[in-house]
Amino acid sequence: MRKFLSHCLILFFILYAQANLAYGVHESNPYTFSITKHIYKLAEMYQIKSFQDETYPGTVKKSAFRVRTNYDLSNAEGWQATGITRIASLGTIYPWAKEIDIYDTRGVKIAFIDGEFATLESAKFTLYEYDEVGHAMLIGFAYASKDFTHFAVVPSMNDPRPLAELNSNPDGQSWNVTVHYPEKIDDRLIRIFAGFVLDYQYKFLS
């Protein structure tokens, strides 16, 4: 009987772990996309394209006339998620301290971007995801270069292998994003984070 219960517990934890890994939106292979800013009268659009068709295209829309900045992510199937900046934080003054809650189309919180005090790397954003029962999971830390032209998302301070990298382009209107380990970071989180970085690329140093 004791052996049977042990086997059941092991099976439960295996299934639970698999469910957590399966939760979210993830590509099956590493991919790269570019995100480009387009400014219109009532909104800014950040267009997502993958020239090698490694991942799906889409847009991150920043609408005007909102009390809190919203980043609405869409793809060919429509709206997918929204990142909403918090008002009661240092982020209202300092861009590197922005805090962004990300919700899916059901209004369920799926991720959180936490800007922190400037470090030797200029800035650090901690990225979290939430599982289906609302538990926060640390995904990694997005470190900026001193000139804010490069971000590396690493899983921990002791593991330098980047989960993803963001690099600005010379045109000043676009960034290239490479996701090395797509199974470890939700597509919606990295896309909204990329839109936020493109939005504030010239404001981080101000």
Q: What's the whole-number mean pLDDT along residues 41-65?
A: 92
Residue 102 exposure: Cα atoms within 13 Å on the Cβ side: 30
Number of Cβ within 10 Å of residue 3's Cβ equals 7
What percent of the chain has a predicted confidence (pLDDT) above 90?
A: 64
Query: Which domains does the chain possess?
Result: 27-200 (3.20.90.10)
Output the pTM of the full model: 0.85
**Whole-angstrom Cα distance, residue 144 to residue 112?**
18
Kindly report, residue by residue over 1-38, the tens digit of the pLDDT.
555 444 444 444 334 443 444 458 999 999 999 999 99
Sign for the pseudo-dihedral over CA of 23, 25, 31, 33: negative
DSSP secondary-structure letter at 145? P
Q: Which of 43-47, 107-111, 200-204 shows the lowest per-residue confidence on average (mean pLDDT)?
A: 200-204
pLDDT digits 0-9 by tens, 135-188: 999 999 999 998 889 999 999 988 889 999 999 999 999 999 999 999 999 999
DSSP 16-85: HHHHHHHSS---SS-EEEEEEEEE-SSEEEEEEE-TT-SS--EEEEEESS-SS-EEEEEETTEEEEEEEE
